[in-house]
Amino acid sequence: MLDVDFYNEAETARDLTKQAGAAVVIATALSGLGAAFATEGAILAAMLAGALSGLIGWLVWSAVALMVGTRVFGGDADYGQMLRVIGFSYVPNVIGVIPWLGFVGAVWALFAALIGIREGMDFTTSRAILTLVAGWGAWLLLTIVVQAVIGLELISGWPF
């Protein structure tokens, strides 16, 4: 998912928004499954927490990235474009289904998001990095809050 051409296509293909959402839900649910295996946690709860925090986080991350990217750095995108490019960047998180590999998938997903944001906003890599940090920070905070509200141990439902 580090294919620049793919992100340029996803940016403009409005019909891919639902698939991007499905990619988020599947990737984060599978990642939650891997975390449950690694910690001997409740499998269904971890999958649901992963999918829920992933879905909510995707919506928030996309909104924050859009606001920061367009208002602060002069990027050119709309919310649907950010939903698609960030949504598809979640795909590498599926590697998290294998216990203890969630971190690898998360790092890979961040690089994919960087490419997606850069292409979606049509601006420089340095601006994309700053936009990514702002949006991902909001996502991380929200993920922690959602998991705390659900009542899971942080690591057992970690959505990587």
Q: What is the pLDDT of residues 109-135, one digit of tens each?
A: 999 999 999 999 999 999 999 999 998
139 pLDDT band, cuts 50/70/90, is confident
Distance (Å, whole) CA 124 – CA 73: 10
- What pLDDT score was predicted for residue 44? 87
Distance (Å, whole) CA 151 – CA 42: 12
Of residues 32 and 159, which shows the higher confidence score?
32
With 60 as the cut, is the pLDDT of residue 153 above it? no
136 pLDDT band, cuts 50/70/90, is confident
Cβ count near 160 (within 10 Å): 24
With 50 as the cut, is the pLDDT of residue 155 above it? no
Of 65, 60, 52, give the one whose Cα is nearest residue 25. 52
With 50 as the cut, is the pLDDT of residue 66 above it? yes
Residues 115 and 131 sit within 8 Å (Cβ to Cβ): no
- From residue 19, alpha-carbon distances to 23, 39, 66, 84 in Å are 6, 30, 20, 8
158 pLDDT band, cuts 50/70/90, is very low
Distance (Å, whole) CA 28 – CA 105: 11
What percent of the chain is modeled with pLDDT above 70?
Answer: 91
Q: Which residue has the tokens 């971190």?
A: 103
SS3 150: helix
